[in-house]
Structure 1
Amino acid sequence: MRFDVLTLFPELFAPFQASGVTRRAFEPGGSVALQLWQLRDYADDAYRRVDDRAYGGGPGMVMLVEPLERALAAVRASQLAEGAARTPLILFSPAGKPLTQGRVRELAGGPGAVLLCGRYEGIDQRFVDAHVDEELSLGDFVLSGGEIPALALIDAVARLQPGVLNDAASHEQDSFSADHGLLDCPHYSRPERLGDSAVPAVLLSGHHAQIARWRRERQLELTLRRRPELITAARAAGRLSVHDERFLAGLVAAVAPQVRTGL
């Protein structure tokens, strides 16, 4: 798998590649190759300018088409020379579709992507129309550039690669897992008691079936309270058992009197 990142700040990526458990993905022989492309190297003037004022006026600068096209052409030439797959160009933008774990899984099973990290007020729309295959967003907020979303995407994809996590089953229990589509349950470690707060007794019981049921019920409870739309999606996908539905019905019934009385 290969990621080519078009950015004005390639230095932001070096610590990421050398830190944490996902660094394994980027080590020699690892499953993810990361190529960084400094956009200023593809400017055509002595000042290495990649932006200019917007037509129509207004604040902020706009990234120019020509340097971006030259950088993208260099990426495509490199892919061809190395026999790598021609990967889609992804732009991080507030106008993009929300990045989901489902899309991360799709990318994790593919050859990678070219990631365009925008800056300033935006990118000349003509480049977007001609070359961008997909626009993605981390959420309804604005960042200074696309480097943080690019790092987030690469991290999310890298941790799904074989041999990256200590326990290959770890990501199967994560929030939004393909197996359940719900939020993850709470987790506890040492000490067993912390002030007046203790680890739930069932987790100390050694009874695996009861522990599994407790974790499932906490998943359902947390998801219903914070992300009820995920319950609807899990139900539509047939991921909820008869026990799940009975437990959820009990939660709703317990809350209903409080809602009616305004408590």
Structure 2
Amino acid sequence: MKIDIVSVFPEYFEVLNLSLMGKAQDKGLLEITAHNLRDWTHDVHHSVDDTPVGGGAGMVMKPEVWAECLDELLGLGAPAQQESSAQAEAATMQPPATDAHGSAAAPVLIFPNPSAPLFTQRDATELSHAGHLLFGCGRYEGYDSRIPDYYRAQGIDVREYSIGDYVLNGGEVAVSVMLEAITRLMPGFMGNPDSIVEESYTGEGALLEHRQYTKPAVWRGLKVPDVLLSGDHGKVDRFRRDEALARTNDIRPDLIKALDCKALDKADRKTLMALGWEVSAAHPRKLS
């Protein structure tokens, strides 16, 4: 997977050379390049922002700087400068770049945005199959809203995601979060691929993961549940499944509501009923 990141602080992404992400680059699974947006400016101050149209606090990142950068990284030719807007709209774009094997890279352009839909495990799974991801990190009051609109009109797959109900100083942290979630799902990234199978939010009928323990069996007076020491794998699996259902019920009942009752086994139904759910319909319903 080819990953390009555009930021006014590209040095922030040196952290991606550590741990599993660094090993994935060494193995050739990932090719990550962080670019400085200011490299596409032409003024002495390398300005990337301007005052908001209509007034207001803060500064907004300028579309013309982003456009020069994105046109180059996406393999698009800049629209010809025409005297009329009609001619400008009719200007043709160069074909997209190809990957190392000569096939279309099919880039996905992603902007973190606190006003956008929430980034989920399902999004991470989908994007883990992409050949080329290009992330744009906003700063200040954000980027001009015409930027994603323009590139969608050029046929680019443009995504805007929020990582939670809070606001950050810039998109760099959000991009790092999304990259961790996406790349760890790539074949060959994790040393043991089975370690992601039962994680929270994973797969259809996603639940929060059960709690985890290691040795010693007793630590500072706190004991590992006896069933986990029993050696009975069936009982262990059932205990973990029941705990996942119980934790999800307590913390994220919305995930319980989304379960398909037809996919639940008899033991699942019994556990959910004990937790106060009615399971005879298409999806569980919380009893008052």
Does the pair score TM above 0.5?
yes
> What does residue range 1-150 of structure 1 map to in structure 2 within 5 Å?
1-17=1-17, 19-27=18-26, 29-77=27-75, 80=97, 82=99, 83=102, 85-131=105-151, 133-150=158-175
Q: Work out the percentage of aligned pairs sharing the same amino acid.
A: 34
Structure 1 segments of 4 or more deviating over 3 A? Answer: 81-84
TM-fit CA distance, 1:168: 0.9
CA contact (8 A) 1:25 1:161 kept: no
Question: In the TM superposition, what whole-angstrom CA distance separates every residue of 1:186-211 from its partner, at most 9, and x where no partner exists?
Answer: 00012211222100011111100000
TM-fit CA distance, 1:81: 6.3
TM-score normalized by the length of structure 2 = 0.82
Residue number among 150, 156, 170 corresponding to 2:181 in the alignment:
156
Match of 1:256 in 2: none
Q: Distance in 2 between matches of 1:129 and 1:161?
A: 29
SS in 1 for 2:190: coil
The structure with more helix, counted as a fraction of residues: 1
| CA 81–227 in structure 1, closer or farther in 2 if over 3 Å, else same | closer
TM-fit CA distance, 1:41: 0.3
2:268 matches 1:244: yes
> What does residue range 164-203 of structure 1 map to in structure 2 within 5 Å?
164-203=189-228
User: Which protein has greater RCO, CA pairs closer than 8 Å, 6+ apart?
Assistant: 1
TM-score normalized by the length of structure 1 = 0.90
- Aligned residue type for 1:172: V
TM-fit CA distance, 1:179: 4.8
SS in 2 for 1:46: coil
Count of matched residue pairs: 252
TM-fit CA distance, 1:57: 1.7
- Aligned residue type for 1:86: A
Q: Distance in 1 between matches of 2:21 and 2:41?
A: 33
Q: Distance in 1 between matches of 2:132 and 2:194?
A: 22
Q: Distance in 2 between matches of 1:119 and 1:80?
A: 28
CA contact (8 A) 1:37 1:71 kept: no
CA contact (8 A) 2:114 2:161 kept: yes
Structure 2 unpaired stretches of 5+: 77-95, 153-157, 278-286
| CA 235–81 in structure 1, closer or farther in 2 if over 3 Å, else same | closer
Q: Distance in 1 between matches of 2:75 and 2:164?
A: 33
Structure 1 unpaired stretches of 5+: 254-258
